[in-house]
Amino acid sequence: MPAMNIIQALNSAMDVLLERDPDVVIFGEDAGYFGGVFKATDKLQDKYGLDRVFDTPINEAAIAGMAVGMAAKGLKPIAEIQFADYIFPAIDQIVSEMSRIRYRSAGQFTAGCVVRAPWGGGIRGGQTHSMSPEAFFTHVPGLQVVVPSNPYDAKGLLIAALESGDPVIFFEPKRIYNGPFDGVPDTPLKSWAKHAKGEVPEGHYTVELGKAEVVREGEACTVLAYGTLVHVAQAAAEASGIDAEIIDLKTLAPYDIETIAQSVNKTGRVVVAQEAPRTSGFAAELAAQIQEECFYALEAPIFRLTGWDIPYPHAHEWAYFPTRDRFARAMKTVTEA
Amino acid sequence: MSNGQSRFHVPTPPYRPGDEPDFTHLDLQKAGAAPRPDPAVGWEETRDLATGLVGVLDHNHQAVGAWNPELSAEVLREGLSHMVLTRIYDERMLKLQRQGKMSFYMKSTGEEAVAVAAAMALKPTDMVFPSYRQQGILFARGRNIVDMMCHCISNSRDNLKGRQLPVHYTWAEGSFFTISGNLGTQFPQAAGYAMACAYKGEDQIAASWIGDGTTAEGDFHAGLTLASTYRAPVIFNVVNNQWAISSNQNIARGDAPTFAAKGLGYGLASIRADGNDFLAVYAATQWAAERARQGKGATLLELFTYRGDAHSTSDDPTKYRPKTEFDRWPLGDPIERLKQHLIGKDEWDEDRHAKLEEQMTALVVKSYKEAESHGTLHEGPLSPTESIFEDVYAKPDWRLRRQRQDLGV
């Protein structure tokens, strides 16, 4: 199987989708001829034509609204928002419209589509290119929210997302587009070529939405992570020697409560991690659900390892980011409690 | 500032409660005066139409000028009938709301032509993305009145399972998109839908309606930008009924000469038409539809009209505008004008009109009885409680399954 990075895997997913189904269309700012600022749609316009992969005006509400209208007519749109930080102009179209078309029409109309957006920090992007706004969307009934952590999943989840028939907010951890990240600032970039999940089949396959994966089995504690932090957590377990069980959530809405509960019931100690600011973040939802589900198995308070309640900083990025060392301290805290 | 002075310009309506409204300042172009260019012309050719007023019925109720769609008396009577039904339905529903039979209602009094004439000028399969004041489209497209009422009283036969406020209809079978209460969202959606029609190589087009106030929303700009960029086969209607709840149209229009004129900046064909003139609305819609089907792109139509009644049952317009405004409205009442036109052609008379009103009233009364037999909001039966968990997704996930159990249904 070919080695791909996440960008190549996403490109391959969209290639497969365009090839298989004439109703698939892809659009976004700079997504056409130029292939997107991160090149996720590279060469797809050339291959499939102007009306299947095209540039849009810089208007995220227009992009999301157009996706809703196209989906209502039976097309299967994949819309790119250039950075997750720029999704907010589209919030009314996503939160009040896209998510509710099936519900408010009692199934007469649907709005199956995918909204892709590069997401998260660790790239020196400052406050306007580093956000992790997933909790704004996990809070919305009717949306599914997906965050892949590797090339294999990125492709399989994107295909599954579009084929689900319901709207999916697909957040792509841009820090690991080109290689996994161990959470140690300024370490040289590693390649996906040496990672098992960097092997990506060329054709069609899916990774099931709503299913998490235990990426490291362990006994000492459970770590719940998604996106870039899956790799940081793994690096922390290796560096600290703490035998953590690490779960890659992959889908945040709906999240895989079964896999989570099974692990927590085994370890009794939990770290929930997110890059986003702490208050009302997705980690809070996980912590609340775990205490409802596994209260009597818990041996220690659930530890929320998060960004701080500040806008994402530029120069002090690594003071904000949940680094490998912060992970190791969090694991130590819950295992020693 | 209590002395009426303002340090920056805050538009105010021409008249407030107690004033004697006089609309002579509007200086409206006379019916028949506007030229009718070919629907395939460049948008530049519509400049004068955007600031003028396309009208067909003159002050003597004669059809005049280049925009006369030359409709048969039969079609005109059909239009009249739909408009009369719309008004009687609205009146009845208002009464029923006042009796506590439904939570909320929104009438379209005075704006019946805007919806009915447009629907009749479109093909029945053209997808409409209305706002909440175009119920006339449903009558023109032949929707079952009992079904409409069942929705409004949220009973067991509400096709929306009690999920939407009354008048927020959805009717896929009649190519009627699901109405949103969030303003303006339907414009970019209609553009996207229209693009998908073009993509699929179909003759179908899309049409959408918003009010004058909603033109201030970002989605107005989003929709027009999309339509202009991709030459989407869509018709954007701005129903300028002068009032956005209590705010006069000038709060949204600002110093732009008309709402239609806003379309010119986007390079869209733009026309202002007399929204109380059935023939003008029909003709302008027909022109825009033909333009769209020829691949020449979108049209912005401003329908100049007057909201004859309250914004909704939660509104009291006597608090902010003179009670006599609708009577003094220079463009009259769309039903009366079409009626007089038909009478002038010897194709209608007062007796027939009275009979039509009786028939429609009887139909509405009878339909309501039937609708009520399927339940009402307060007395039930409603859609099954467990249905609140349906249609959030194609299949409910564990969260919804558990929450349904928690509710015990």
CATH number at residue A246: 3.40.50.920
A169 located within any domain: yes
Give the C-alpha separation, B227 to B233, whole Å. 8
State residue B1's pLDDT score. 46
A204 located within any domain: no
A207 located within any domain: no
Domains along chain B with CATH numbers: 29-313+321-378 (3.40.50.970), 385-409 (no CATH)
Q: Are residues A142 and A269 in the same domain?
A: no
A203 located within any domain: no
- Domain termination site, one of A198, A229, A261: A198
Total number of domains constituting chain A: 2
A208 located within any domain: no
The model's pTM is 0.98
Contacts of A56 in chain B (CB under 8 A): 229
- Domain termination site, one of A168, A198, A228: A198
Q: Are residues A220 and A269 in the same domain?
A: yes
Q: Are residues A261 and A176 in the same domain?
A: no
- Domain termination site, one of A166, A198, A230: A198
Q: Are residues A185 and A85 in the same domain?
A: yes
Q: Are residues A33 and A152 in the same domain?
A: yes
State residue A1's pLDDT score. 81
Q: Are residues A175 and A241 in the same domain?
A: no
Q: Are residues A170 and A276 in the same domain?
A: no
Q: Are residues A142 and A248 in the same domain?
A: no
A41 located within any domain: yes
Range of the domain at A236: 213-336
State residue B27's pLDDT score. 87
Contacts of B131 in chain A (CB under 8 A): none
The confidence band for A187, taking pLDDT boundaries of 50, 70 and 90, is: confident
Q: Are residues A14 and A145 in the same domain?
A: yes
State residue A330's pLDDT score. 98
Q: Average model confidence (pLDDT) for chain A?
A: 98
Q: Are residues A194 and A221 in the same domain?
A: no
Q: Would you tell me how many other CB atoms lie within 10 Å of the CB of residue A106?
A: 21
For A11, half-sphere exposure in the C-beta direction (CA atoms, 13 angstrom radius) is: 20
Tell me: cis bond preceding A254? Omega within 30 of 0 counts: yes
The pLDDT tens digits for A78-95 are 999 999 999 999 999 999
**Which of B168, B182, B187 has the CB atom closest to A92's CB atom?**
B182
A interface with B, Cβ–Cβ < 8 A, is: 25, 51, 56-57, 59, 61-62, 64-70, 72-75, 77, 89, 92-93, 96-97, 101-110, 141-142, 144, 164-166, 210, 254, 257-258
Task: Enter the ipTM.
Answer: 0.97
Show the tokens assigned to B67.
């925009």
A108 located within any domain: yes
Residues 6+ positions from B192 with CB-CB distance below 8 Å = A65, A66, A67, A68, A69, A70, A72, A73, A77, B226, B232
**Which of A66, A108, A142 has the CB atom closest to B392's CB atom?**
A142
State residue B4's pLDDT score. 65
State residue A105's pLDDT score. 98
A125 located within any domain: yes
Contacts of A70 in chain B (CB under 8 A): 192-193, 195-196, 199
Q: Are residues A277 and A134 in the same domain?
A: no
The pLDDT tens digits for A114-145 are 999 999 999 999 999 999 999 999 999 999 99
Q: Are residues A184 and A279 in the same domain?
A: no
Residue-by-residue pLDDT tens, chain B, 409 positions? 455 689 999 999 999 999 999 999 998 999 999 999 999 999 999 999 999 999 999 999 999 999 999 999 999 999 999 999 999 999 999 999 999 999 999 999 999 999 999 999 999 999 999 999 999 999 999 999 999 999 999 999 999 999 999 999 999 999 999 999 999 999 999 999 999 999 999 999 999 999 999 999 999 999 999 999 999 999 999 999 999 999 999 999 999 999 999 999 999 999 999 999 999 999 999 999 999 999 999 999 999 999 999 999 999 999 999 999 999 999 999 999 999 999 999 999 999 999 999 999 999 999 999 999 999 999 999 999 999 999 999 999 999 999 999 999 9
Q: Identify whether A231 is a catalytic site residue.
A: no
In chain A, which residue's Cα lies nearest the Cα of B161? A106
Contacts of A102 in chain B (CB under 8 A): 391-394
Residue A156 near residue A132 (C-beta atoms within 8 A): no
In chain B, which residue's Cα lies nearest the Cα of A209? B397
Task: Mutation target for A interface from B205, B393, B399, B402: give the one with most A CBs within 10 A.
Answer: B393
Backbone phi, psi, residue B60, to 5°: -95, 10
The pLDDT tens digits for B288-321 are 999 999 999 999 999 999 999 999 999 999 999 9
